[in-house]
Amino acid sequence: MDMNTTLFREISFQVTEGNPWWGLATCNEYGGLDPDLRAALVSLFKRRLTADCRESPLALALITGKRTHQLPD
């Protein structure tokens, strides 16, 4: 499924102001996203996290683009 404008706005909001974990997890579920755009969302995601959280298994999985079924327990 391709990402539409409404979905992209929601993901952007979650990553920048809402729940960044949920925003990036949702982003990872949709293929065909421009790599530069995804890199920008990942950069925003990293800025919202503390240093400890950035190294967590879940954060690393989301940053590398893992989908829901591939995330660690």
pLDDT tens per residue, range 9-21: 999 999 999 999 9
Residue 66 pLDDT grade (very low, low, confident, very high; cuts 50, 70, 90): very high
Structure tokens at 69: 């079924």
Q: Select from 32, 14, 27 the least CA-distant residue to 64.
A: 27
DSSP 9: H
For range 21-34, the mean pLDDT: 89
Put simply, whether the predicted model's pTM sits higher than 0.75 gets the answer yes
Residue 1 pLDDT grade (very low, low, confident, very high; cuts 50, 70, 90): low
* pLDDT above 70 coverage of the chain, percent: 97
The whole-angstrom separation of Cα 67 and Cα 27 is 9
Angle between helices 5-16 and 35-48 (to 10 degrees): 30
